[in-house]
């Protein structure tokens, strides 16, 4: 079966982006091992990600209540499910995630809020709690986490990591348990070139095995 891989980019910095540079190393290595793979990139900043505003929220609550959304709510619901289908069409996903203010870029949070819908990503049982609807389907994720100020081992005066803790937990909540991580956290006083090379090499190695 032909491998399918989707790269979801949440950095708006183009060629200046550290997370995209590392992701490119991963993709090149993956392509070398899987020359026939179907590989696509979804730049979350390209304008194709729908909003999740009042109409979409109304649709979601209608579905929770067992009703069908109508009118503008129905249109918003179709857009949200279309975004989910675009994501769900791939069995391998690479995310490039820079740290913004201790967390993830708001465009990535928008992506999460758009596709995390009942009947698509999750179900809810009153007694058992959430059902993780992407579980058991062989999906795998790799995530490139980058930051400039925060780094492991630094004190809270340099910030805290709500980036990987939040996003990796969301992946597990969807049912995707096979998650690999690549980290680039040079800090303000670290050796950026050496740390970058380590992250790039880790990305190449993971790309070959993914």
Which residues, including other chains, have CB under 8 Å from residue 58's CB and lie 6 or more apart?
69, 73, 76
Q: pTM for the complete prediction?
A: 0.96
Span 25-34, pLDDT tens digits: 999 999 999 9
Which pLDDT band holds residue 3 (cuts at 50, 70, 90)?
confident
Range of the domain at 64: 4-209
The CATH number of the domain where 125 resides is what?
3.40.50.360
How many distinct structural domains can be found in the chain? 1
Span 64-109, pLDDT tens digits: 999 999 999 999 999 999 999 999 999 999 999 999 999 999 999 9
- Amino acid 76: pLDDT: 98
- Amino acid 141: pLDDT: 98
DSSP string, 104-141: --HHHHHHHHHH--BTTTEEEETTTEEEETTTTS--EE
- Rounded to 5 degrees, what angle do the CA atoms 67, 73, 76 make? 120
Q: Residue 178 is inside which H or E element, if any?
A: strand 178-184
Span 165-197, pLDDT tens digits: 999 999 999 999 999 999 999 999 999 999 999
Collapsing DSSP to helix, strand or coil, 73 comes out as helix
Q: Are 19 and 11 in contact (CB under 8 A)?
A: yes
């Amino acid at each position: 079966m032909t491998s399918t891989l989707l790269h979801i980019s949440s950095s708006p910095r183009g060629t200046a982006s550290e997370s995209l540079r590392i992701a490119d190393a991963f993709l090149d290595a993956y392509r070398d091992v899987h020359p026939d793979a179907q590989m696509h990139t979804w730049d979350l900043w390209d304008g194709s990600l729908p909003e999740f505003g009042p109409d979409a929220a109304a649709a979601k609550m209608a579905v929770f209540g067992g009703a069908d959304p109508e009118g503008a709510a129905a249109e918003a619901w179709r857009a949200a499910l279309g975004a989910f289908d675009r994501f769900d069409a791939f069995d391998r996903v690479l995310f490039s995630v820079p740290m913004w203010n201790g967390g993830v870029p708001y465009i990535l949070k928008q992506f999460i809020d758009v596709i995390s819908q009942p009947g698509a990503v999750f179900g809810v049982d009153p007694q058992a709690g959430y059902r993780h609807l992407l579980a058991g389907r062989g999906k795998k994720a790799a995530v490139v986490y980058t930051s400039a100020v925060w780094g492991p081992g630094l004190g809270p005066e340099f910030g805290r990591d709500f980036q990987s803790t939040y996003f990796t937990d969301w992946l597990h909540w969807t049912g995707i348990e096979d998650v690999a991580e690549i980290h680039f956290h040079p800090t303000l006083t670290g050796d950026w070139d050496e740390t970058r090379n380590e992250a790039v090499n880790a990305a190449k190695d993971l790309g070959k095995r993914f």
